[in-house]
Amino acid sequence: MFKGITHIFIFDSGNTHWWHNSVIDIILLGTGGSIPTDGRNHPAIAVCFEGWNLLFDCGEDCQRQYERANLGLNRKMAIFISHNHADHLLGLGGLLLRFSLLGRMKPLDIFGPVELIDYVKVNQETINLGTIFKTTVYGIKKGQSVFNADGLFVRAFEVDHRGFALGYEVTYERPTGEFLPDKAQQKGIPKGPLWGKLSSGESVRLPDGTLINPEDVTGPKPSPLRIVYSGDTRPCQSLRDAAKNANVLISEAMYTREHSDLAHERGHMTAADAALLAKESQAGLLVLTHYSPRYGNGQPIFMEAKEVFSNCILGQDLMRIRLALDGSSEVLQHTKH
């Protein structure tokens, strides 16, 4: 039935695609830490553009959260694993199997630490895990850019957990500024496909031979949009650097100050640690996630962080955050299940 996952190798370079979109949706599929609880799954974060889903970590039962969020079976997609600990990885096999059983056809790229390749191979050999669509697993040896799509970039950077672990920085840069119809009309450009090409960053030539460049009919390019996902980590400089002026920082906050000794020992952050890092980095919005079930509904985590950095929210499963082109963000939807 399955063709198998036939293309597995160490990361070399990313593939290039093209798309652009006016907003980015962030969907928290799982916000639990270590042990899933009623209403809080293991870690998984989806960053969605029109027709594209980027999934960061794939905790246990991610497949059903993915369906609940209505993210689509056959969209263009890439998966990024932060580290090879069970709570961030156990959902991968189930998600791939679900995609195959339901007929996904589009190729899928998976990125993560090099040992992820061995994990996938063992699953192939022992439980007959395979896919009916092309699936490529890229092993990352060090922090580097791993995904490049004409204005959308994903960069992996090393963090300070137990063993090799990664955080991810997503940057989206529009090819042009706002399209200016009045300028286009003044230059004799007819409304229609040429306007679309220019707003997408393409130069066009008019019937009389005049070359029109995008900057001739568009405003200044807006600042890039940046989303940073910490994965599991202690406070570290690489995360501070990545989070500098980020629009959204999605950070683990496993413990409160009361258990700071456990946080340090086990390679995690307290809520205060995450909030201080967001404050130092001048992040726009801090989303707290991966908090321990010992804190119940997470209010102790939220209250501790808010004392340090006021522009923070407590992540909850199936919460949606929309990031607009101007850098503003808002919570769109929180569906309980």
Quote the pLDDT of residue 4.
Answer: 44
150 pLDDT more than 70 = no
3 pLDDT more than 80 = no
Write the pLDDT tens digit of every residue in 200-220.
889 999 999 999 999 999 999
Structure tokens given for 90: 């156990």
The percentage of the chain sitting over the pLDDT mark of 90, rounded to a whole number, equals: 76
> Cβ(103)–Cβ(133) under 8 Å?
no
Between 49 and 225, the higher pLDDT residue: 225
Catalytic site positions: 87
Lowest mean pLDDT among 2-11, 72-81, 89-98: 2-11
> Cβ(135)–Cβ(107) under 8 Å?
yes
Average pLDDT, integer, range 64-68 = 96
Mean per-residue pLDDT of the chain: 89
Fold of 7-13+22-174+222-334: Metallo-beta-lactamase; Chain A (3.60.15)
Quote the pLDDT of residue 327.
Answer: 83
19 pLDDT more than 50 = no
Average pLDDT, integer, range 3-27 = 49
Given its phi and psi angles, is residue 163 left (phi above 0), alpha (psi -120 to 50 degrees) or beta? Answer: left
2 pLDDT more than 70 = no
Average pLDDT, integer, range 156-167 = 96
Quote the pLDDT of residue 133.
Answer: 94
Lowest mean pLDDT among 7-16, 105-114, 189-198, 269-278: 7-16
* pLDDT grade for 307, boundaries at 50, 70 and 90: very high
The percentage of the chain sitting over the pLDDT mark of 70, rounded to a whole number, equals: 92
Cβ-Cβ contacts under 8 Å for 149 (sequence gap 6 or more): 14, 16, 17, 18, 19
322 pLDDT more than 90 = yes
Lowest mean pLDDT among 175-184, 232-241, 325-334: 325-334
Cβ-Cβ contacts under 8 Å for 310 (sequence gap 6 or more): none
Quote the pLDDT of residue 281.
Answer: 97
- Amino acid at site 308: V
Average pLDDT, integer, range 138-155 = 87
> Cβ(269)–Cβ(263) under 8 Å?
yes
Quote the pLDDT of residue 233.
Answer: 98
337 pLDDT more than 60 = no
Helix (H, G, I), strand (E, B) or coil at 92: helix
User: Looking at residue 285, what DSSP letter applies?
Assistant: E
Average pLDDT, integer, range 93-111 = 95
Ranges in the chain annotated CATH 3.60.15.10: 7-13+22-174+222-334
83 pLDDT more than 50 = yes
H helices, E strands: number in the chain? 9, 18
21 pLDDT more than 80 = no
Quote the pLDDT of residue 334.
Answer: 56
Average pLDDT, integer, range 275-296 = 97
Q: Report the DSSP beta bridge partners of residue 53.
A: 48, 77
Quote the pLDDT of residue 20.
Answer: 39
